[in-house]
Copies of this chain bind each other. A is one copy, B any other.
């Protein structure tokens, strides 16, 4: 099956060079050390032999595995985590690192043992990524080599992390609504068990305040479709003149619930009321009728940035960056929001 792979020695022999010359050429350190024509001969010998340097041997020598580990609380079942992992893998791979993923499998599992396992494997750097935005206690193992938090923040705010700028997201979502002429905005869903809800609400209220509008009425609840449905129920059972112009939902699932209620009760979205989601959840925000206008959680960018920063750190790049990096949530305009029309009472 796997015939013996060629080594640098084989390449050297074929090219009439020394092993060290081969090494230098393969690592791009040859200029100024190996004659140009010799470089060329080495390169073609390597190509003919289909030689690829053995990363295990080089890892042993330079005390580097060229792997970065990602431990996550729930990658497997999540509609989001994939984007974060993909972003991190791609960024790492572009810099010559392989990502290895350890999935704790449950939202509240203790990541320490997975961090230890990855450290045993000698990963060069470590990301701790959570499925939902959370505050965490940084496990000790994370401090023993370059590490970073993705989509979660240190309870003590002393460990580097990459998280979405939820306050700004809430504000920009509200500004979008206000820009469409809406004045009365209601919030539905999203209790404060999760860090995101208070931040989004804060942004919303700030935007209303700067526009000189009254604060939003809050219909807090959970994060699911049924919570959106119930929230809409409470809102639309009132007389029409007490309806809000727009509903800002804690997340896209809640928005689906609002849409379902509206559909079942002859309320037009966005004709009678605009509906705004949050998260840009795949196969959901883009799959409803109307499609949900929403704020996109920058999962891919978080993965990418986290990988970049860890690799920068372990390669000794200047690390003058702030501990916590906030990433913007871009607005994704779809059909569930529209300019305000004066409603027939």
What residues of chain A have their CB less than 8 Å away from a CB belonging to chain B? 1-2, 52, 54-57, 59-60, 65, 75-79, 82-83, 85-86, 89, 93, 98-103, 105, 117, 120-122, 143-146, 225, 282, 287
Contacts and interface: CB of A to CB of B under 8 A. Distances in A.
A1 B144 contact: yes
B79 A98 contact: no
Nearest to A77: B82
B105 A55 contact: no
24 contacts: A1-B144, A2-B144, A54-B60, A54-B122, A55-B121, A55-B122, A56-B56, A56-B59, A56-B122, A76-B82, A76-B83, A76-B86, A77-B82, A77-B83, A77-B282, A78-B82, A79-B79, A86-B103, A86-B105, A89-B102, A89-B103, A98-B100, A98-B121, A225-B287
A256 to B, nearest CB: 11
Given A1-B144, A56-B60, 20 more contacts: A1-B143, A1-B145, A2-B145, A54-B60, A54-B122, A55-B120, A55-B122, A56-B59, A57-B60, A60-B60, A75-B82, A76-B85, A77-B82, A77-B83, A79-B79, A82-B82, A85-B103, A89-B103, A99-B101, A100-B100
A1 B125 CA distance: 12
Contacts of A2: 144-145
A307 to B, nearest CB: 14
A143 B120 CA distance: 30
A343 B57 CA distance: 73
Contacts of A144: 1-2
Nearest to A83: B76
Contacts of A98: 100, 121
A54 to B, nearest CB: 6
Contacts of A89: 101-103
A85 B103 CA distance: 10
Contacts of A120: 52, 55
Nearest to A289: B226
A329 to B, nearest CB: 19
